[in-house]
Amino acid sequence: MKPAAARGLLLSSLCLALCCRGGARGSPTRLRVYHWRGGVGSWLSTSHWFIRVCDLGAPWVTLLSCHLPPEHGFEERQKIDNHEWKKLIMVHHWPVTVCKEVEKDCRDPPDYWTIHGLWPDRAEECNGSWPFNFEEIKDLLPEMKMYWPDVIHPLNHSHFWKHEWEKHGTCAAQLDALNSQKKYFGGSLGLYEKLELNSILQKLGIKPSINYYQISDIKDALASMYGVVPKVQCLPPKQGEEVQTIGQIELCFTKDLRLRNCTEPGELGESGRAWGPGLEVCEDGPAFYPPPPQSAR
Ligand code: 5GP
């Protein structure tokens, strides 16, 4: 074997081993970010250095291994590509935290949990030739503006709705109950109303506060009310902050729209998969549930 080929083979094996090791540990996003940064950036961090090695010596290995979400096996990956999914996630977000996440000084964010989306797990953008059509949901406009507002762009909600339809709605539409835009948005509003998260939190005495909550208390209280395991997502503490900030509460449904646990014992999913740029599954421990700006004064 020529020395160059032997070197390539050696680097390939090293790279493959590293990629797989990264996968076993968890975050696919992190791995891909490392890869990208490694391509243009610093040589200083060890992880970046290894990925540079992959780029130099074995681009085909990077292609084959590093770009597959590593927590999924081959069969799982095929399901994602085939747009197969098994649960629906009703994602509520706390507008104050949304504004904090994007570092936007929102003027008057709603002081109640609003809808981020109704998301099938493991499937996105299932039908690029089914465009969003505002006309179809015109009748729902008052409820949409109230409960599913674009928190970041409150003067133009329809961009956000278009995004949610194209990314998530086209996949949810595999269900007869959600197989039109009217049914998808109307059905999501129906589930949101049925869940009554805002009044349930109030009943539980969980209100925005300058005092911190324990995440396990919130999760346990919600689980006892709904009878299923929810998922709570937080913004990790920024520099100078003591604790994480609560951002999203997810409740999950079966395909026949019955509540189910968001994660089953042994199921992947508590590994910190981030839905937004900064959101992660909350760490056990204290968390800030930030009051809206005016009542914080
Ligand atoms: P997804 O793309 O899966 O629906 O949700 C994640 C993205 O939605 C993140 O980029 C997050 O910043 C964004 N996002 C969250 N809430 C809002 C919102 O109220 N309006 C808009 N325009 N984007 C949002």
pLDDT tens, residue by residue, 195-225: 999 999 999 999 999 999 999 999 999 999 9
Query: From the candidates 164, 166, 250, 280, which is the catalytic residue?
Result: 164
Number of Cβ within 10 Å of residue 57's Cβ equals 19
129 DSSP 8-state letter? T
Q: Is 164 in the pocket of ligand 1 (CB under 6 A)?
A: yes
- Say whether 72 is catalytic: no
Whether the CB-CB separation of 95 and 101 falls below 8 Å is answered with no
Question: In this predicted structure, what is the pLDDT of residue 105?
Answer: 82
Average pLDDT over residues 141-147: 98
| Chain centroid offset of residue 223 CA | 20
Tell me the average pLDDT across 83-91: 95
In this prediction, residue 20 has a pLDDT band, given cuts at 50, 70 and 90, of: very low
Q: What confidence score (pLDDT) does residue 250 get?
A: 98
Residue 44 burial (CB count, 10 A):
7
> Whose Cα sits closest to atom 10 in ligand 1?
276
Task: Assess whether 157 carries a catalytic annotation.
Answer: no
Please tell me the predicted confidence (pLDDT) of residue 46. 32
Ligand 1 center to 96 CA (angstroms): 13
The type of residue at 180 is S
> Which secondary structure element, helix H or strand E, spans residue 88, and what is its range?
strand 88-93
Residue 82's pLDDT band (cuts 50, 70, 90):
confident
The dihedral over CA atoms of 52, 58, 60, 63, expressed in degrees to the nearest 10, equals: -20
Amino acid, res. 122:
R
Q: At what angle do helices 46-57 and 28-40 cross, to 10 degrees?
A: 70
Q: What is the identity of the amino acid at 134?
A: F
What does the DSSP 8-state code read for residue 142?
Answer: H
Looking at the predicted structure, is the pLDDT value of residue 291 above 60?
yes
The reply to whether 116 belongs to the active site is: yes
